[in-house]
C-alpha cells in the first residue's frame, strides 16, 4: 500500500471487565508508545462500580475510554446483544484497521463478533485457553472469539496447541502473557503507593489471600457454602483476606451465608492487590488471572475449581485444585514471556496490518 511506511494504524480495543482493564494497562502503554499505532478505547460498562472499574484507569494511568457504555446485568444473551449493537455503531463510525479483544468475557464475545461481521480483523489477546468445560460462560466466549479472530495472541505454548487441535494455525503467535507485564509494572508502583498491609494490620508472610467470583461457585448456594466453609477452615490456621466481588456479595446475602472469621473487604485496586499478593503465604482463588499472579509473586495457590486453564501452574507445583491431595514437585515455569509481551503484540499487529 502506498505510504504504508508512514501510516498510523487505528485499532479499537474493547474492555468491560476488571481483568481487561489490567490487561489494557501494559497493552495501551505499548500502543501509545508505538509510532505506527493509535488506539480508540471502548468500555462496555460490564463492570461499573468505582472499585471494579474507575480505580484501575486512575491508578494504572489508562487513558479514559473514547466510548463508554453502561451495559451490564440481565441474561448473557441480553447483555451480549446490547453490546453487539453498541460496538457495531462504534466500529462503523471509527472504521478501525483492527479490533482488539481480551480474554473471555461477554465484552470479548460481543467485540469479536461485531468486528468479524464487519470484516474488520479481530486480534484476540489471551487466545487458545481452554478449560474444556462448556458449562463455563467464559469457555463459550473464548472458543467463539478464537474462531472468528484473525490474529490469535497466545500466552503459552499449550494455548497454541489447543488452537491447533481445533484446526486454527493461521495468525497464531505466542508473544507471552500480558498479565506478567502487568505484574512487573504494578509491583514497582505498589512499592511506592500501596498501603493495604498496614491498613489491615497484616504481617508479611502471615496471611492468605482469597477471591471468589466464578458463576460455578456463586450461582449454586450449596457450592458457595462449601467454598465459604473451606475458607473458614483455612482461617483457623492464618488470617484469610477476602476482597469480595460484588457478585459474590449478592450471592452470599441471597444464600444467607455469613463470613465470620474471614477478613472481608471491598474489592481493591491493582496496586493494593499487588501488595496483598506479594506478601501472602497462600492464595485461594477461582480467578484465572490470580492463579498466575500467585506464581509471578512465587506464592503457592489453591484453585477453588474442578479444573484450570493454567495447567502448567499445577504441573510445576505452584498451584493445585482444592480437591488435589498436594502439590507436584516445584519447578520454574518457562512460559509467559519476558515481561514485554505488550510490545511484542504491538509489533505483531503492525506487521500484520502492513502486509494486509
Q: Catalytic residue positions?
A: 213
Grid cell locating 245: 466481588
List the one residue from 11, 14, 15, 18 that touches ligand UDP (CB under 6 A): 18
User: Are 180 and 341 contacting, i.e. CB atoms less than 8 angstroms apart?
Assistant: yes
What's the CA gap between 240 and 268, in Å, rounded? 15
Shortest CA distance to 114 belongs to which of 173, 32, 42, 21? 42
Under the binding rule (CB under 6 A), the answer on residue 289 touching ligand UDP is: yes
Closer CB to ligand UDP, residue 22 or residue 208? Answer: 22
Closer CB to ligand UDP, residue 65 or residue 289? Answer: 289
Positive or negative: CA dihedral 146, 147, 152, 157: positive
Shortest CA distance to 99 belongs to which of 57, 58, 42, 16? 42
List the one residue from 243, 318, 349, 350 that touches ligand UDP (CB under 6 A): 243
What's the CA gap between 41 and 28, in Å, rounded? 9
Question: 302 burial class (0-12, 13-18, 19+ CB within 10 angstroms)?
Answer: buried
* Cα–Cα separations (whole angstroms), residue 106 to 103, 147, 283: 10, 15, 26
List the one residue from 290, 304, 341, 349 that touches ligand UDP (CB under 6 A): 290
Closer CB to ligand UDP, residue 34 or residue 130? Answer: 130
Q: Residue 220: which residues within 8 A CB-CB, separation 6 or more?
A: none
Under the binding rule (CB under 6 A), the answer on residue 155 touching ligand UDP is: no
List the one residue from 273, 301, 302, 350 that touches ligand UDP (CB under 6 A): 273
Under the binding rule (CB under 6 A), the answer on residue 227 touching ligand UDP is: no
Closest distance to ligand UDP from the beta carbon of 237 (Å): 22
Under the binding rule (CB under 6 A), the answer on residue 293 touching ligand UDP is: yes
Among the residue ranges 26-34, 76-84, 250-258, 285-293, the one whose residues contact ligand UDP (CB under 6 A): 285-293
Among the residue ranges 16-24, 69-77, 169-177, 224-232, the one whose residues contact ligand UDP (CB under 6 A): 16-24
Among the residue ranges 120-128, 249-257, 262-270, 333-341, the one whose residues contact ligand UDP (CB under 6 A): 262-270
Chain residues in the site for ligand UDP (CB under 6 A): 18-19, 22, 211, 213, 243, 267-268, 270, 273, 287-290, 293
Amino acid at each position: 500500500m502506498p505510504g504504508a511506511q508512514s501510516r498510523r494504524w487505528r485499532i479499537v480495543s474493547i474492555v468491560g471487565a476488571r481483568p481487561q482493564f489490567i490487561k489494557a494497562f501494559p497493552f495501551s502503554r505499548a500502543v501509545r508508545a508505538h509510532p505506527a499505532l493509535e488506539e480508540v478505547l471502548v468500555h462496555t460498562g460490564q463492570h461499573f462500580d468505582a472499585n471494579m472499574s474507575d480505580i484501575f484507569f486512575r491508578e494504572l494511568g489508562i487513558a479514559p475510554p473514547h466510548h463508554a457504555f453502561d451495559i451490564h446485568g440481565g441474561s448473557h444473551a441480553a447483555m451480549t446483544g446490547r453490546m453487539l449493537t453498541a460496538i457495531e455503531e462504534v466500529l462503523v463510525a471509527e472504521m478501525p484497521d483492527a479490533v482488539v479483544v481480551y480474554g473471555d468475557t461477554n465484552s470479548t464475545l460481543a467485540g469479536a463478533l461485531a468486528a468479524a461481521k464487519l470484516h474488520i480483523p479481530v486480534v484476540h489477546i489471551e487466545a487458545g485457553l481452554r478449560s474444556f468445560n462448556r458449562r463455563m460462560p467464559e469457555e463459550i466466549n473464548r472458543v467463539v472469539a478464537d474462531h472468528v479472530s484473525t490474529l490469535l495472541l497466545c500466552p503459552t505454548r499449550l494455548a497454541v496447541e489447543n488452537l491447533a487441535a481445533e484446526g486454527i494455525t493461521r495468525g497464531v503467535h505466542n508473544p507471552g502473557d500480558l498479565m506478567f507485564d502487568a505484574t512487573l509494572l504494578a509491583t514497582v508502583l505498589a512499592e511506592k503507593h500501596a498501603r493495604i498491609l498496614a491498613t489491615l494490620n497484616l504481617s508479611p508472610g502471615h496471611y492468605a489471600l482469597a477471591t471468589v467470583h466464578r458463576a460455578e461457585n456463586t450461582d449454586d448456594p450449596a457450592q458457595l457454602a462449601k467454598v465459604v466453609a473451606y475458607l473458614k477452615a483455612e482461617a483457623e490456621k492464618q488470617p484469610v483476606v477476602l476482597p469480595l466481588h460484588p457478585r459474590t456479595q449478592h450471592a452470599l446475602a441471597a444464600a444467607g451465608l455469613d463470613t465470620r472469621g474471614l477478613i472481608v473487604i471491598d474489592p481493591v485496586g491493582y496496586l493494593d492487590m499487588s501488595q496483598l499478593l506479594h506478601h501472602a503465604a497462600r492464595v485461594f482463588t477461582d480467578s484465572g488471572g490470580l492463579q498466575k499472579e500467585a506464581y509471578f509473586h512465587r506464592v503457592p495457590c489453591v484453585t477453588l475449581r474442578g479444573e484450570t486453564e493454567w495447567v502448567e501452574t499445577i504441573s510445576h507445583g505452584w498451584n493445585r485444585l482444592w480437591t488435589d491431595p498436594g502439590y507436584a514437585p516445584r519447578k520454574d515455569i518457562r512460559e509467559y514471556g519476558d515481561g514485554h509481551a505488550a510490545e511484542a503484540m504491538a509489533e505483531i499487529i503492525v506487521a500484520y496490518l502492513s502486509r494486509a
